[in-house]
Chains A and B, each alone.
Chain A
């Protein structure tokens, strides 16, 4: 083990030369990344660019093979599926693994914050997709994380629910001020939510971009489209070429050509 994976860094995230590989396949390749306390960072990238792998390492789910990874111990993750225990009522799911004196009180508080005070006793099977994901959010927030990891948490939701969730997540972030790392496929979502957008390609940062738009944001805002166009170009999608959004089917990418070779 030549990797140093230290935990309990006081403020936020710091990665230096992080390597993660499966056999000969380097998914994260000497990655450097810092996230300031309370900063909202979105991680964009095509499938297989290493976004989720990076998030899993930050969540402590996977080890790293090289470099240094510093992340706060108080961290929580929300995944694409809510991953609630079907046999536990909503509030019990929220307090699972929580070691405090008044778990029920804390659960009520967290579920009220996500607008589910009326579903405390509900079993996950009776919750809608959006509600389940809000329970998962409450379950993360109740742990008062310094780092909140979101792995495409809105991808499986319908468009209307997603808009509501965007508002909710910004609201919760502003109230609790954790550092947030959001992994997403959705360029608009990244621009709507993040302070900074990082584009990942082949396990390295291809570009990073500060989003200085005033909040609350919407996609009709001045400057929104400029950022969008730039990101899409980085991701290998031309503005007048909606077909290539399905990047998994792009023949060039399938052969392992770097994205810049096509788009830039």
Chain B
């Protein structure tokens, strides 16, 4: 009989003594405790040996100290140019903070920290290290190199928190468009502010229409002009006349986006879309277009511009009086204020106002950045305002409005909307169909010819670039000051378009208070300041964009019969004298 069987018999007995009962319970209890100990032992082995091994293999010694709370947060989206070049991106950086309670030797720690960060002062560091708080920022957004130096010091109490830092690889280039953001990632200006919600939530980068290469060309040439003519400020825009896309835009002086808080308000001021200026003769593009539209392109009509026009206390005179009767092309190419005022009069106050309104000169344009200025329109608008507004006086608009209106006239007559955001599947034809027509194709064609004439024969000859059929209009306006206009303070500008037979790009440059120099024989007008700048910008643009030069056909030729040559004028004057 086996032991089991014997026990079975023994256990199955009906009469159990209390001793046996106690023994059974003891065995049960012991079994329970043995089982519990085995579980505890197993768990201890699991935690210490198996899982400990796993954890050791996955350690990252440098970044373990970094607080990973930010990992789950959405990273603020990138801003890129039309070719995908980065304009703004958020990168992870470590920020150093201290728990002063854990610092044993504040003086020594402060000394070591000053060695790593020479820009921090020993005194303020010591103060922070001895404070009673449990969390004090020492330096935010430090470099990985400095971080490893601090880790090497090995002081307990010095900790890192992961933060996002907004970097702008292109620096100050396009800062007035891209804008700046604060230390907590909030957009402060430009698209950073205008698209704050999008950047905070979207995974897709914000693609702009600007091209950093063109942006650089425009900035380089604008800076040169401002320096050469010792000017106060300037602005320049390049626009695609068919789509209204802004390819480049510069407002000078500009600022570094990292120093938004320290930058002067002058540097922060956006002269492209926020500043409004009386832009002078560039407005003749609009008044002449209105005249051609109203008179069915009557370019042959002559206007007697020999005497200044006097209305009440106003006197309209020309910069370079020709003192004769002139046709429309002559008025345009010589930029005659008197002639333009007469043409404006012909159009009539209501029609001119409506035309200006149609091409967007009366309202602040819809634009993607918050910095958009409202134009200054004479109120009430009298007949004299019609005359002055025909040559760009008494009405102040932003450069953005001006280039938009000009693009809408030369592109065949469709109103374009200025935009900074690249649209995918951008079908030009589909867009054109949906757009508003502001002038007839005939007027648009005539305006292109007139603008070409300005560059070949008129005030803008310095904008000529061989092989690229540049056209344009000069603008020189006196700045309004105390008690009238100040003749020594000018805003000189040039509105250029090319190629004139099939316009693709419009370029507007504006220079604030240029001073004449030796090379310009003391002149600081649009023809001397703006036109050469546009010529240089066009030269730069064609090499960046790879536009081939073409043989220049005589595009403005059909207008030449309305323009008297110097010899003809001389002859006429001689006959008159006799």
Do A and B share a complex?
no
Residues of A within 8 A of B (CB): none
Residues of B within 8 A of A (CB): none
